[in-house]
Chains A and B, each alone.
Chain A
């Protein structure tokens, strides 16, 4: 009986997070449904960039530390895992080593924030990243120089247990989604139209899965015998290998930013002086935030190396990585965690689609640049934040407006005080 009550609570919470659950289900079943390997590879890349963008959001979006050296964290992660894999280390220890290096580097970068403030911090971290880039770029024996370093695929990607594990997770997520949906349908007080839409979607989803899933599974299970099939299953594995850490890290990061510590991060971002006055050790929390960010960025790098198969200093340590991540974050919306991930998805997918168009494909960077300008000018807070602002109902907006008018006198005073 007690168990049952607890289970009820779990599903109650889950039913409130239907969008998240549905997104997860779609992401986890995608490899089973899609006919295209191309999109699976592309999405695996998106997940890696999304993880990196999320790690950046922790420092920039939540703690307000403008770091321009994020590429260093990512690149170190990538190089550590690449070098260890080349020495025939197993993949998991390689990932841990990369994460450790990322954390140490993140901590080091955080230490700079003690001495310098805001805009100078951006420059010092930029300098730091550039120095690391320069060292790797010149130290050819270590980094492979401009030709790059080839990275072997980790051994366990060739085995099926991991894939079966990933598939089990997919099945679990889908069943949870189904159960939640059925429970919601059985509940009273849900609008009839919603019920119909919901059930049609669920049935369609399941039918699609049942029709296409087994044929794919069949291909995978035949795996090791045929080369072509092996590559398909490796890409399947890679998709899951990128997706699972992303989901896990998102859950952890979400937990962190909603914890008391996360509130302190935001307090520091909003007003450093006040956070200090309230007795918080600003430097300590910046260090923590920077280190956590280093962990996630290092993880993203360590996943990227065996995915890309070849890395060179310019594409993992170069300032282009930092600029890209900055763009993802701003486009999606800072301080939302999910925003930068969506930004990463939009830009990566857009880039790959645009470059495929013949003739004008080579100008995609230009298109992207103009697209950014428009976003910054018209959606200065990013897609997600703007959407959330617009998403509030008219009634709420009116309420807020009235309140703000009432409070306007006080607010002005607060504004005066806030400016340094």
Chain B
């Protein structure tokens, strides 16, 4: 007999997990949509964000400062990487994959060297402990994650739809050459988008630490999950990455509760099924 309370708890967990997924997958998806880069370093950015947050929290002891700091760090890192290296090999997809793989390797090693092999965790004041919701004990931090993720999702959505840069990003996703022909500096938009995606991943990493801790392996694990999410939602689609995150997040946590051995298998089987039935993803556009 399956306990309904357990299902409720796992769905709450799933929603919180989905928000973290959304933070990493939306950046991945936007970057793919505009720049056409399958960014294998995205998991590494998530991880670096987590570790930077650990250090920031150690010094500031303030969660808000930590989140903002991690996001800024991600932004600067992304802009620097795009500007210094990725830009040079634009239009060579294999070299791009290789380059981002190289960054994944480098950051995984750097993290090991700087922060060591032991996983790190911190507990933000006021967000620890748990409350009772509908008779079920729910950790406060999960609730905070859901709230925080929704806020970021809404503001990113507003940024994409209501600002000039957001419009350029959306137009560039459709047809970058056409946007360039209109006299818009697409290259600058590329750099900023890459920075934005990296910042989203970094803030996701920072937000993940109090729940899941920062570990040296999280770079590849989260890369794989975000790949699954983006493919299920549709590569390049912002909306797709949101709904894809919800679907995979909840599925992932449900399977973690009920079939802990098969978590990754279920993720990847979902992805393969979606790909075989609807290759462009649930919200992707057929090209």
Q: Taking the nearest CB of chain B, how far is it from the CB of A235, in angstroms? A: 31
Question: What are the residues of chain A within 8 A of B279 when measuring CB–CB?
Answer: 115-117, 120
Could you tell me if B38 and A130 are in contact, using CB atoms closer than 8 angstroms?
no
Total interface residues on A, CB under 8 Å, equals: 34
Q: Please, how many angstroms separate the alpha-carbon atoms of A66 and B95 in the complex?
A: 12
By a CB distance below 8 angstroms, the chain B residues around A373 are 85, 99, 102-103, 106
Chain B: interface secondary structure? helix
The reply on B6 being an interface residue by CB < 8 A is: no
Smallest CB gap from B108: residue in A? A365
Contact B94 A334 (CB under 8 A): yes
Our pick among B38, B95, B99, B268 for the contact of A127 (Cβ within 8 Å) is B268
Q: Mark A110-138, 1 if CB is under 8 A from B, else 0.
A: 00000111011011101110110011001
Q: How far is it, in angstroms, between the C-alpha of A128 and the C-alpha of B231 when the chains are bound?
A: 14
Instruction: Report the bound CA distance from A327 to B108 in whole Å.
Output: 16
Question: Within B72-120, which residues are at the interface with A (CB < 8 Å)?
Answer: 85, 88-89, 92-95, 97-99, 101-103, 105-106, 108-110, 113
Which one of B12-20, B143-151, B269-277 is at the A interface? B269-277
- Which of B184-192, B220-228, B237-245 faces chain A? B220-228
State whether A380 touches B110 (Cβ < 8 A).
no
How far is B219's CA from A369's CA once the two chains are assembled, in angstroms?
A: 15
Which residues, 332 to 359 on A, are CB-close (under 8 Å) to B?
A: 334
Q: Which of A119, A124, A127, A326 has the most CB of B within 10 A?
A: A127
Nearest to B276 among chain A residues (CB) is: A115
Measured in the bound complex, the distance between the Cα atoms of B105 and A124 in whole Å is 22
* B98, A326: Cβ atoms closer than 8 Å: yes
For the complex formed, measure the closest distance between the CB of B115 and the CB atoms of chain A, giving whole angstroms. 14
| B122 on interface, CB distance cutoff 8 Å | no
Chain A proximity mask over B129-147: 1 for CB below 8 Å, otherwise 0: 0000000000000000000
Query: Is the CB–CB distance between B89 and A377 below 8 Å?
Result: yes
Q: Which of B94, B235, B271 has the most CB of A within 10 A?
A: B94
Within 8 Å CB of A376, what residues of B? 89, 95, 98-99, 102
Q: Which residues of A, 166-208, contact B by the 8 Å Cβ criterion?
A: none
Q: A366 with B113: in contact, given A123-B227, A127-B272, A376-B98 (CB under 8 Å)?
A: yes
Size category of the binding interface on chain B:
35 or more
**Are A366 and B89 interface neighbours, CB within 8 A?**
no
A319 close to chain B: CB less than 8 A = yes
B-contact 0/1 string along A96-122, CB 8 Å cutoff = 000000000000000000011101101
Provided the pairs A130-B224, A372-B105, A377-B89 are in contact, do residues A120 and B113 lie with their beta carbons within 8 angstroms?
no
Contacts of A66 in B (CB 8 A): 94, 97
Residues of chain B within 8 A of A41, CB atoms compared: none
CB-defined contacts of A135 to chain B, threshold 8 Å: 265
Residue of B nearest to A116 (CB): B279
Task: Please report the C-alpha to C-alpha distance between residue A134 and residue B103 in the assembled complex, in whole angstroms.
Answer: 25
Our pick among B97, B261, B275 for the contact of A124 (Cβ within 8 Å) is B275
CA distance in complex: A130, B223 (Å): 13
Contacts of B109 in A (CB 8 A): 363, 365-366, 369
Q: Is the CB of A123 within 8 A of B99?
A: no
A contact residues around B88 at 8 Å (CB): 377
Q: Does A219 interact with chain B (Cβ within 8 Å)? A: no
A128-B272 contact, Cβ under 8 Å, with A120-B231, A376-B99: yes
Task: For the complex formed, measure the closest distance between the CB of B39 and the CB atoms of chain A, giving whole angstroms.
Answer: 12
With CB as the reference atom, state the residue of chain B lying closest to A381: B95
> Is the CB–CB distance between A366 and B106 below 8 Å?
yes
Choose among B92, B106, B228, B275 the residue that contacts A120 (Cβ–Cβ < 8 A): B275
Nearest residue (CB) in B for A123 is B231
Q: Are B101 and A131 in contact (CB under 8 A)?
A: no
Q: Given A123-B275, A376-B98, A377-B89, answer yes or no on A365-B227 (Cβ-Cβ < 8 Å).
A: no
B87 to chain A, nearest CB (A): 11
Task: Answer yes or no: B123 CB below 8 A from chain A CBs.
Answer: no
How distant is B279 from chain A, measured CB to nearest CB, in Å?
A: 5
> How distant is A322 from chain B, measured CB to nearest CB, in Å?
10
Min Cβ gap A382→B in Å is: 10
Task: Determine whether the beta carbon of B269 is less than 8 Å from that of A131.
Answer: yes
Report if A131-B265 is in contact (Cβ < 8 Å); known contacts: A124-B275, A366-B113. yes
In the complex, A142 has a CB within 8 A of chain B:
no
Q: Is B264 an interface residue (CB 8 A)?
A: yes
A323 is an interface residue with CB less than 8 A from chain B? yes
Give every chain B residue within 8 A of A119 (Cβ-Cβ): 38, 93, 235
Task: Report the bound CA distance from A119 to B275 in whole Å.
Answer: 12
> Which are the 3 A-B pairs with shortest beta-carbon distances?
A369-B106, A127-B268, A369-B105
Where the two chains meet, the residues of B that have a C-beta atom closer than 8 Å to any C-beta of A are 38, 85, 88-89, 92-95, 97-99, 101-103, 105-106, 108-110, 113, 220, 224, 227-228, 231, 235, 261-262, 264-265, 268-269, 271-272, 275-276, 279
A-B contact pairs, 17 of them (CB 8 A): A66-B97, A115-B275, A115-B279, A119-B93, A123-B227, A123-B275, A124-B275, A126-B227, A128-B268, A131-B269, A138-B262, A323-B105, A330-B94, A365-B109, A369-B102, A369-B103, A373-B85
- Please report A residues at the B interface, Cβ cutoff 8 Å: 66, 115-117, 119-120, 122-124, 126-128, 130-131, 134-135, 138, 319, 323, 326-327, 330, 334, 363, 365-366, 368-370, 372-373, 376-377, 380
